[in-house]
Structure 1
Amino acid sequence: MFRKPPSNIKSYSPLRSSDRRRFKDEILKKFPLLESSINNLIESSTDATDSKSESPFNIIVPENTQLAKFNSNLGVHGVIYTTKEKHPLWFKKDKDKNEILVPSVYMLWKFPDMLPKIPTFDMVISKLTGGANLMIPGIAFPSEGLPEVNEGELVSVVVRGSNIPMAVGTMNISTKLLEPGSTRKGIAVNVIHIFGDCLWSMGDQSSPPELSDAKTFQENIETESSESKVADINEEIDEDVEVENLENEFETKLTVSEVDKLLQDSFYQALIEKLTPATPLPMSTSQFYSAYLLPCRPIGTENEVDVKKSSYKKVAKFLSAMEKKGVIKMKGDSTLIHVNWNHESLAGFRPHKTIKKATSSTALNEGHPIIEIKQVFKPKGPIVDFFKAQGENVESDTVYEPEQIKSIVLNYLKSHNLSDKQNPKFVIPDEPIREILANKSGVRVPDKWIRNDLVKEIQSKMEDHHYVILPGHDPELRKGLPKNIQISESTRTGNKVVTTIRGLESYGMNPNDLTEPLQKLCASSVSVNPTLQSSPKKPLMEIMVQGPQIKLVKKYLMDTKGFPEKYIETTNVKKKGKR
């Protein structure tokens, strides 16, 4: 918003005492965390009452505070509040005709806990200074998880490991929908104001406190800004490419030994929490790795902990090392046949919070089970040879998650230097990739591809599979795309509305077990009948609830049964009445 200096600034006028008091009350009301910070500052400062000018309340709205109207280069109207020396303190901006009160970074440095914090990586901040927003892959998920913030609410952006806000903006998406390792793309935070922009330049241009490389950062602002200026001002950069580049650039550089340690911890946690002594063996190593070990990685490490980044390089070699320790027994390189549950490594292991726990924490905290559905893809045709050439151990039952496919393809593109020299936004496929992309119809394969489009195209050439993990059961690999649970409303004879639920059996739910809970929830009669497609050998049932009950039934399946919303299909097929 302040990539360029505010324009059309009207003459500054001082706030009257009564306006100062009202403005202070407005600030404390809109930023409830600020008052506790002020109280802590008062308690810790022995001089807080000695000087009126040093009172924390005078810091947020000093005497001689001035205000002026302005326009931003984006055409946003607002009001800026400054000291007598024109040092920016606060500003208000219009958003859909509603004013938003925003603190300057100078104010945030005095009260860093005023807003919820969204951490990012240190190299991202200079890119944000050029006007870019914080993308979802640029979030550095902390081990304790993100603060709970709704879409549109103000947040500060900090460098991971630091408490000092570097930018302020509004959430573009609720943090409840953001999970470590998610493939979700797009903007996470709409950045409004950041250290180094033109609003900061209106002040004393001081650096953030306790930031050791602030000077270096400040010196590089102009250079970094120019690199992203064209892409961000014209908004012509492809979002998939931007996200993809962020995913690669923001990876934390763990040492190989650190990756080895985290991989072993994930292995032990997978045995204790997911495999358990009750799980029947043998099991393929690829299934154990993708469905058991990967979900048990520590939260926040999903982009860093991978067998390829370890000293083992391959799953078979890693499991062979665990076999030498005496923890497991293998048959060849592809089958897990036994676990030594009395091994000292398992007895002394301290569990950690995992990716799976983080993504299902809401349902678990409410005491409900959760059903997991995970899409995976099986290599076929030339993709098998392509993956094997990259060091993959592809067996008949080997499947890959989208993140794994993306990593393999992008690593190949990078190692073979396939970027278009004239426009790095594109890549030029070589012969092995063109063989994958070739189709029977003989349609010409494009010479240039956007990276993400290329990954998606290769993924589309693989067979669709999915894991279904029911509470208390082992992961089950199924062929094809996941089936939806269907909830539909229809109008029957006499204009009676009926809600029908189908597809429950696919996910271990007996329709007869749901009749009583739904009857109480909907306060309506409930019946169970065979579907039209049902056969005597494999009967499929449907639940029929009287009345328009889509919202209640959907909420019940999600909150009580832990079924993912993504795979609930709702339709409304009411008949049109005569007018």
Structure 2
Amino acid sequence: MFKKPTSNIKNFSLLRSSDRRKFKEEILKKFPSLDSSLHILTESTIDTTETPINSFIVPEHIQSAKFVSNAGTHGVIYITNEKQPIWIRIDKDKKDFLIPSVYTLWKFSDLLPKIPTFTPVISILTGGANFMIPGIAFPSEGLPEVNEGELVSIVIRDLNIPMAVGTMNISTKLLKPGSTRKGVAVNILHVFGDYLWSMGDQSSPPELSNVKLCQEETVEADASESKVAEITEDIDENIENLHKELSISEVDRLLEASFYQALLEKLTPNTPLPMSTSQFYSAYILPCRPVDTDNEVDIKKSSYKKVSKFLKAMEKKGVIKIKESNQDLVLYHVNWKHESLDAFRPHKTIESATNEVEAQASTSVLESMQIQVKEVFKPKGAVVDLFKAQGQNINENTTYEYIEIKTIILDYLKSHNLSDKQNRRLVIPDEQIREALVTKSGERIPDKWTRDDLVHQIQLKMEPFHYVIFPDHDPELRKGAPKCIQISELKRVGNKVVTTICGLEVYRINPNELIEPLKKLCASSVAVNPTPQSLPKKPLMEVMIQGPQIKQVKNYLINTKGCPEKYIEVKSKGKK
């Protein structure tokens, strides 16, 4: 996953004490073997000013940053104050993985179940391959029991040195010595020598001082030269996206496919011609190569060897016309009705794949900046009894979103058969529901309700709360309905218009920090003054900008400050 540099790594930020504590608890829960390891470290640690947990697992100055891998996988990297990556969190196949780096595994080698291999295999893994079944060096005691999808470390046989981390592609119960089974054993996520490793001090484990990670090394005993050759051959045959040599005819075929794709997808009949053939090749054909072929589909690896020879072959087919102009070869005509274009079936290109990754990364970065607001409601009075009657376990901290409330009420109506038999779209509330609907004024409760009206009325009987979720912070539960940021345009003396912003403090935005950015954005003067509701202990400020600036201000708050658009209230122009 880290064989290429990751994209869009945000700035690293220091974890708060509370986040460090939660992170430590999560690590110990997921890796219970750490307790015994930490006990050993405690006994051997001379400097006891720091607990072993903080020193080795979650250091005091641990920092984190979100990233997007080259393959589009989203995650978080945790590093020490010395920039050493020690943990990685990724979201893969809708599952959250907390992964120790090789630097961490060298301190805690028993952190993960171990799958042993032969020394030469490591060089193959660092080249970007997954770990294949023939590469397993079966120990005499057998492999540890690991299910498909669970984390394991790949270790060098006998030396017990973790060199890679991945997820089992197959249960170890199905893997036996001497089996002819082939295929991927472990999907590699991180390996010694990859980009994540290079972010650290790029050190090797001390035990490797006399071990060479080269494929030509002589392997003792059962790991003979023939065994290594078998492993290498099996990996070459089975691993997807492994760099392998294509035949000249395959390169020719893929190059022609890229040529047709470039005409249909990028050049199009509206593109002005003539165009230099060098520009056509570099800016149109190369981006249209099939995905994952960028290193192999090259004019020099084809039978044509030169761009001019390739395009002359396409001219001979009648697809294009080229000519010399000012000592340069140019493309000046395309036969858009040629049968080759009609018969061609487009493929996913390198350019489209790159654009997808960049789009996902941009979306991820934008989402990571967004402030989220979630409205919830707390049961009270007779509504508590109603929810308990439907099997809900309620305490003083229990809250529900509207969709959850609706589900509970509809399930109650269905289980108690409260539909109106003459009109199935209506329901007749029983005594439990009528009790929840009672008002202080004693108004008459209708005998029949639509389901939506009934759900809405019960929700109104509940106490409103809301969560505000700031990036990289725990959710904050606040009482009452969410408050809005107000953007208003006001007319002043002489028909002058000013734009004001109030309510920024609710979303932790310092009004004074907006002065310079809004000056540049709106090309107007900006001032910050206390509002009439401001108090010394709870100051509330208003930002005032000269001119009608609602659109610019609103976009700035959404895209730069992450304010939720739903909770930005815009007021029409009016006289003061």
- TM-score if structure 2 supplies the norm length? 0.38
Larger CA Rg, structure 1 vs 2: 2
TM-score normalized by the length of structure 1: 0.38
